[in-house]
Amino acid sequence: MTTTRENPSGGARILVVEDHPLIAELIETRLRIEGLRPTKALGGADAIARLDTESFDLVILDIMMPDVDGYQVLAHIRNTDAIKDVPVIFLTARSSPDDVERGLHLGADHYMTKPFSGADLVRRVKILLAERSLPAGERSAESAES
């Protein structure tokens, strides 16, 4: 079990999949301030291409995107051996229980409904990154969070 003398989330590579350029930019700025290394993908197809060629420690994923939606991206992640365990946070304007359940059933680790604060998102990213060091049974039983 590793200790966390060093920042457990320091330098982690985060893929931000969000087709709204301003929100993507704001999230990217926020993550950079936290010492993380975000990369933006402005659509689902771009996200899948990056996931297949680059290495990420966590994915922040919008659901509603015009080309390939977040559900398809998540399915790709969970069905690809090399990346199937990467933590995923869903971001969505939808907050119906069915959407929440669908996202979590497909394997999302966390779910945030828009609008969300940058501080809340960063907090959740840090928790998920810190939890990587825990045995699987001790990680949080995830639920959606607005």
3-state secondary structure of 23: helix
Alpha carbons within 13 A on the beta-carbon side of 4? 12
Q: How far is the CB of 117 from other proteins (least distance, A)?
A: 4
In the bound state with other proteins, the residue whose beta carbon lies nearer, of 1 and 98, is 1
CA distance 4 to 69: 36
C-alpha distances in angstroms, 70 versus 1, 73, 146?
33, 5, 18
Q: Name which position in 30, 51, 63, 99 contacts other proteins (CB under 8 A).
A: 30
Tokens for 50, please give them.
Answer: 């990056």
Q: Name which position in 45, 114, 142, 145 contacts other proteins (CB under 8 A).
A: 114
| Interaction of residue 109 with other proteins, rule CB under 8 A | no
Q: How far is the CB of 76 from other proteins (least distance, A)?
A: 26
| Interaction of residue 120 with other proteins, rule CB under 8 A | yes
CA distance 83 to 104: 17
Interface residues toward other proteins, by CB under 8 A: 1-8, 22-23, 26-27, 29-30, 33-35, 93, 114-123, 126-127, 130-131, 133-134, 138, 140
